[in-house]
Amino acid sequence: MWQENGEGGNWQLNFRRNLREWEMTMFEDLISKIEVSTLVEEDDTWIWRWSKKARFTVKSMFKHLVNEKLERLGNRVVFPSSLVWDTALPMNIKLFFWTIFLGRTLTRQTLVHRGLAISTAYPLCNLLPETVNHLFLHCPLVLELWDWPHKRGNDLMMKVWMYLPYASAWVIRKHRNGRVFDDKVPHVSKMIMEIKALTWYWCSNWSGRSRFKFRDLIVNWDDVLSGSVVGTLAATGIV
């Protein structure tokens, strides 16, 4: 509370327990802010300092937290939130990739570190320990799924490429679990087909998908990725 003295007064804050070391920094920051405050006889009002209209909004709070974190981290890598939360993907897919970017995906190596007595070998190849990078990128079988041609092309190609990395990782995880829990042998051809189907399904929220057919992804996959496939309406001059 505020205590008056001959020189004006000061803040005397009492806590029910001793502050921890990391809390002392926060406490000192709090004191430095309230010491410059001036008490007046007028009625108290709420003012939100991080908004131009002095009113609280979730958007202004989010921006403040992001800016505060950037200042604290400096040049360190910041979590790529836009790659997760700004995508038009189902929520379970977003949460899945959130754990990937944070390095919290439950791999065999992670489970061993937690005390589980299992082999760390990646079940799709049994060559190296199952880490996040090996699970989704470096396994010889998985590498075949990432061998896509990439060129500049039409809007279908752009949409497919937008979802392709997410669909590939999701299908890889699915077949990895199938190998672990159901002893199913993964086949690259089947995994590629599922990636195509999932990519097409996620494109359903795009109005331009009606100009194309799922058969384009099945039969003309390389042409789709290179931007060579033209929609049926565009081909007839109707856009």
Cβ neighbours, 10 Å, residue 24: 11
Structural domain boundaries in the chain: 2-73, 82-235
Output the pLDDT for position 238: 39
- Grade residue 71 by pLDDT with cuts at 50, 70 and 90: confident
- Grade residue 78 by pLDDT with cuts at 50, 70 and 90: low
pLDDT over 70, % of the chain: 86
Q: Please say whether the beta carbons of 233 and 154 come within 8 A.
A: no
Q: Which residue has the higher pLDDT, 229 or 8?
A: 229
d(CA 210, CA 200): 11
- H/E run at residue 3: strand 2-3
Output the pLDDT for position 237: 38
pLDDT tens readout for residues 109-144: 989 988 889 999 999 999 999 999 999 999 999 999
User: How many Cα atoms are found within 13 Å in the side-chain-facing hemisphere of 42?
Assistant: 5
Q: Which residue has the higher pLDDT, 14 or 184?
A: 184
Q: Which residue has the higher pLDDT, 34 or 189?
A: 189
Which residues in 166-178 are b (16+ Cβ under 10 Å) and which e? bbbbbbbeebbee
- Grade residue 173 by pLDDT with cuts at 50, 70 and 90: very high
Q: Which residue has the higher pLDDT, 9 or 90?
A: 90
Q: Please say whether the beta carbons of 191 and 141 come within 8 A.
A: no
The pTM of the full predicted model, rounded to 2 decimals, is 0.67
pLDDT tens readout for residues 18-39: 888 888 888 888 888 877 777 6
- H/E run at residue 66: helix 58-73
Which residues contact residue 142 at a Cβ distance below 8 angstroms, ignoring those fewer than 6 apart? Answer: 124, 135, 136, 172
Q: Which residue has the higher pLDDT, 88 or 73?
A: 88
> Average per-residue pLDDT in the chain?
84
Q: Please say whether the beta carbons of 158 and 128 come within 8 A.
A: no
> Which of 57-71, 73-87, 101-115 is modeled with the greatest confidence?
101-115
- Grade residue 49 by pLDDT with cuts at 50, 70 and 90: confident
